[in-house]
């Protein structure tokens, strides 16, 4: 059974507009974590902020015991997180959820949008034998983060910003669609906002490519008890609600039903 513990903060730094990378010394989480999993962080010194915040695991180093978490400032809780330093500790529960499964894959596309870029970085670290092409989408130059990290671990990096301030002007899904005209990976792993994932779902169906998508849903408990993050999984004529936090956040793309 996974239990929460207090962990020492090593670094907490801004990496892009409203985006931060938080490094903690957590050797137990580092040794167990799989790409696609997340942790739940208790906001310190605020009794009114009862719910923990789910944060993607961005990277781990089993030798040093360091776990890196990337988060965006979206409210009071994450704003408080951004002010913490190495003088603070954090109560963290994890690793949680079901991560990516690369069984049988050698050539993989990673497709991330915004905050959804964060959990994809861990894939090349965990499975260095993979041939990876990374497709990264952001709003603008100011919101781009960890471009160098993906460049160092990917065969090719395709970059898109909505305003055209860096890379291709438009959406990252446009780059994926263009590349699929000439190339077919064994597997696509994607994480990002729902509109992006819907387009990816359509592309992989058209090209008959296996795909796993990591869903971004508002969570309560993070361990499957409260059912706040339930989503429809199955087929159009038969489906059931599953919990993004416990049964996911990673699902096969063909299983996810958006309009139920």
Please indicate, yes or no, whether residues 192 and 104 belong to a single structural domain of this protein: yes
CATH code (residue 172): 3.40.50.80
Which residues span the domain enclosing 23? 5-96
**pLDDT tens digits, 38-78:** 999 999 988 888 889 999 999 999 999 999 999 999 999 99
Determine the pLDDT at residue 228: 67
Q: How many folded domains does the chain comprise? A: 3
Q: Which of 65, 96, 127 is the C-terminal boundary of a domain?
A: 96
Please indicate, yes or no, whether residues 109 and 201 belong to a single structural domain of this protein: yes
Please indicate, yes or no, whether residues 152 and 56 belong to a single structural domain of this protein: no
- Round to whole Å and give the CA distance between 137 and 145: 10
CATH code (residue 226): 2.10.240.10
Determine the pLDDT at residue 151: 97
Q: Which residue, 83, 67, 71, is CA-closest to 145?
A: 71
Please indicate, yes or no, whether residues 16 and 120 belong to a single structural domain of this protein: no
- The encoded tokens of residue 64 equal 């040093």
- H/E run at residue 121: helix 121-126
Q: Which of 75, 96, 117 is the C-terminal boundary of a domain?
A: 96
CATH code (residue 10): 2.40.30.10
* Residue labelled with tokens 């951004």: 82
CB 88, CB 10: distance < 8 Å: no
pLDDT < 70 positions in the chain = 217-225, 227-228, 260
The residue count for the chain: 260
**pLDDT tens digits, 200-227:** 999 999 999 999 999 976 666 666 667 6
């Amino acid at each position: 059974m996974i239990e929460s513990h207090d962990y020492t903060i090593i670094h907490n730094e801004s990496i892009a507009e409203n985006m931060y990378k938080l490094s903690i010394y957590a050797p137990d989480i580092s040794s167990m974590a799989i790409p696609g999993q997340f942790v739940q962080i208790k906001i310190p010194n605020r009794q009114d902020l009862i719910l923990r915040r789910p944060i993607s695991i961005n990277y781990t180093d089993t030798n040093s015991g360091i776990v890196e978490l990337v988060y965006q400032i979206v409210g009071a809780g994450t704003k408080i997180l951004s002010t913490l330093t190495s003088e603070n500790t954090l109560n963290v529960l994890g690793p949680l959820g079901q991560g990516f499964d690369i069984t049988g894959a050698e050539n993989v596309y990673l497709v991330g949008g915004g905050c959804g870029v964060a959990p994809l970085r861990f894939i090349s670290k965990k499975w260095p034998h993979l041939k990876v092409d990374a497709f990264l989408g952001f709003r603008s130059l100011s919101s781009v983060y960890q471009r160098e990290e993906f460049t160092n671990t990917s065969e090719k990096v395709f970059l898109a910003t909505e305003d055209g301030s860096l890379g291709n002007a438009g959406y990252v899904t446009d780059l994926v669609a263009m590349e699929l005209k000439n190339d077919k990976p064994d597997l696509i792993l994607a994480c990002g906002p729902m509109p992006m994932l819907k387009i990816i779902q359509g592309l992989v169906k058209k090209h008959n490519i296996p795909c796993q998508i990591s869903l971004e849903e508002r969570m309560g408990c993070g361990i499957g008890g409260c059912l706040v993050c339930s989503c429809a999984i199955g087929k159009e004529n038969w489906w059931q609600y599953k919990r993004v936090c416990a049964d996911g956040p990673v699902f096969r793309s063909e299983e996810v039903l958006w309009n139920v």
